Structure 1
């Protein structure tokens, strides 16, 4: 199992900013690193039959070859009888819930999603990587080019001063031109949030409208621990199903064979989608709070100053930070904020002090601040 998942290990390192500078935040990395790795691991897991066994095993009459009935039922789908679940709870529970067992064609609930689960998980994992790919195309490694290695903890003193001067010169020369760059990043963050909402809806449709309420129903069932309650995991991902196989007999008549199937794959699927449900909700909440945070920082220069101050105040950079914040647009502030996350506090304070000294002599009067 370790060998199966080892190719995904490099995606889960969220705090590699010092080794490799990046222009995105923690929540952004949760989408294209953690979520991508999680969904790809689930995709590999449901296809690893050497660990979970055959996805389906059907028991039928001996006249039918085992491999034929297994293949047919896996492709054509199986079904359950919802009313029989109430019978397993006992007649008393069935009467209390006013369940009247019925038998008929309209009662069957077909399940044919399980053969498409690996493909769905793979496509969903790719969808979580697309905003990151789009951001990489649009930013063209701007942060890495500006840092020039200043993100490393150990830097030669002389080289550090030279790189600081080059960084300050770049910031002064391009001051006021980073708003479009910052807006592209916020757009990619919005795409992440939109993608989470879309995947919730797509998964709910894929699982016949039962996914949205899946997490709360499982939690409610586990909290009650009642024997007379229907397990939502078994209801949504049944382990024991039926399958009907038809073939022509020797006389040309159509013969019907009923098979009882064990879906061992659903032992994995129910845990996968329970984990995915909770993780999607976490991403939805974090993404919504992040967009609210972006809106607040866009409207509050004072908050922007406080956020930069938290990084450089220990090294006497408060006056310089105040001067820079008063003159910078939202795009310039976001670039400085991103650079501060990739540099040590002393180096960032030194850059801010030099920038504050040079900006008044280089700013023009027609620049528009956001």
Structure 2
């Protein structure tokens, strides 16, 4: 049984191994880097939030880890150019000396500059100049940081809510990974212990259903809370990536829905920023200077060198988002089909049990596998085996699934023992129709095709 102390989960199968996993799998150099922060609780919190986990897939890490890290790097790069380098330089009148020139450049960078085509005259109306203003370049680092945070939010939801299921995914996957280095006899023993741990976890997930009153209580009684939550998080990733395209178009002020392809087309046709006005390098700036009782208005021409970096960065980001969007959408559809459609779950279990030799004399093998999938593993168990397969390898997943099926099959045989002629006899002891637990026996369930035992009645007496 599990015992929870301070939010930690313990199991008799793995004493002392349910905690302290957050630093495993991380290089000593990286751990020392976190320890160098020197702030209580910040090291472990930072590592828990931002390090890759063992209960996700490659597309999840592509979103919350790779893309978030990339956007954060770009935000730091642009910030360094803006606040450390010289993001703008303006052509000043001759009477501007020293501090005047620096003041004008700082003012023009803080206030919005406006872009006018070189073949067109500068408009005299102030309203026309304001309509041509370019106001996004000052906000590029902040917007990039917010976009990185948006990619991380679904992962935070997944890490926070999946713990309510009672299934310690992190411990199970890491124990499965540790079995790869074990010897043959030790491996069998570890597989047996891990299978018992998984069985207890799946049972606990069902038992905890009646003690939770949260609004996100969906699927617990059906053994699908973790699976439905995981699909929901996948959907959040899909919605997030398509929201990113809307943010890009509105932030850059472009009318192109496919801005990346249109930009490449403009470059291919020789149509640069001088014609398109997107990320212009040369802009105009208006400012006023008070001298005694008079106010003098100046219009200067400025060079936005930061836009040269912004154009290349956003062009790369747009195509990267396109790649992430296609990958995330396909991954969502695949996970939805394989975890929520029963036939795909049965196929997944059949593949994992391909090396397990079933009883050839039994005519119930197919129905037993179906009962194993629907009553014992359920969607959460299938998802758990998928994580083991992805992070610990296919051999560990097959061994674990085979041991789980063996335990289920042995328990089934104990309640439906065979006679000498290969038939089964009906048992009055509690059955296992509810999975690995010993639930009260319900004879009505035998009428269903899925639960029908291979029982043909008592043998007929021969007449002499």
Task: Give the alignment's TM-score, normalised by structure 1.
Answer: 0.78
Q: How many angstroms apart in 1 are the aligned matches of 2:275 and 2:395?
A: 54
Partner of 1:92: none
Deviation at 1:349? 2.2
Structure 1 spans left out of the alignment, 5+ residues: 1-6, 11-18, 88-99
Q: Which residue of 2 aligns with 1:335?
A: 384
Cα distance in 1 between the residues matched to 2:52 and 2:307: 40
Within 5 Å, give how 1:65-84 maps onto structure 2.
65-82=100-117, 84=118
Structure 1 residues 148 and 241: alpha-carbon distance in aligned structure 2, compared to 1, 3 A threshold: closer
- 1:365 maps to 2:406: no
Aligned residues: 333
1:288 equivalenced with 2:329 (yes/no): yes
- TM-score normalised according to structure 2 size: 0.64
Q: Whose helix fraction is larger, Structure 1's or Structure 2's?
A: 1
Rounded to whole Å, the distance in 2 between the matches of 1:101 and 1:318 is: 84
Partner in structure 1 of residue 356 of structure 2: 317
Contact in 1 for aligned 2:112/2:135 (Cα 8 Å): yes
Distance 1:325 1:271, change over 3 A: same
Selected match of 2:173 from 103, 127, 147? 147
Match of 2:393 in 1: 344
**Conservation of the 8 A alpha-carbon contact between 2:254 and 2:278:** no
- After superposition, the CA RMSD in angstroms is 3.4
CA distance in 1: counterparts of 2:394 and 2:353, whole angstroms: 6
In structure 2, C-alpha distance between the alignment counterparts of 1:235 and 1:188, rounded to whole Å: 38
Alpha-carbon separation, structure 1, partners of 2:111 and 2:82: 23
In the alignment, does 2:230 pair up with 1:185? yes
Distance 1:309 1:221, change over 3 A: farther
Match of 1:170 in 2: 197
Shift of 1:308: 4.9
Instruction: Please say if 1:248 is aligned against 2:290.
Output: yes
Q: How does 1:117-136 map to 2 (within 5 A)?
A: 117-136=140-159
Q: Give per-residue Cα distances to partners, 1:244-294, cap 9 Å, x unaligned.
A: 1112234x2321111111101001100111111112222222222222223
Contact kept, 8 Å, 1:172 with 1:359, in 2: the verdict is no
Which residues of 2 match residues 1-370 of structure 1 at below 5 A? 22-49=54-81, 53-64=85-96, 65-82=100-117, 84=118, 87=119, 103-105=123-125, 107-108=128-129, 109-140=132-163, 142-152=168-178, 153-173=180-200, 174=202, 177=206, 178-210=223-255, 212-222=257-267, 225-227=268-270, 229-231=271-273, 235-250=277-292, 252-298=293-339, 300-308=341-349, 313=354, 316-317=355-356, 323=369, 324-325=372-373, 327=375, 328-360=377-409, 361=411, 364-365=432-433
Does structure 2 conserve the Cα–Cα contact (< 8 Å) formed by 1:52 and 1:264? Answer: no
Aligned equivalents of 1:81 and 1:50: distance in 2? 23
For the pair shown, which has the larger CA radius of gyration, 1 or 2? 2
Instruction: Tell me: higher relative CO, structure 1 or 2? Use CA pairs within 8 A at least 6 residues apart.
Output: 1
Kindly state the Cα deviation for residue 26 of structure 1 after the two structures are TM-superposed: 1.0
Post-superposition offset of 1:171: 3.1
Contact 1:43/1:118 (<8 A) preserved: yes
Report deviation, 1:210.
4.3
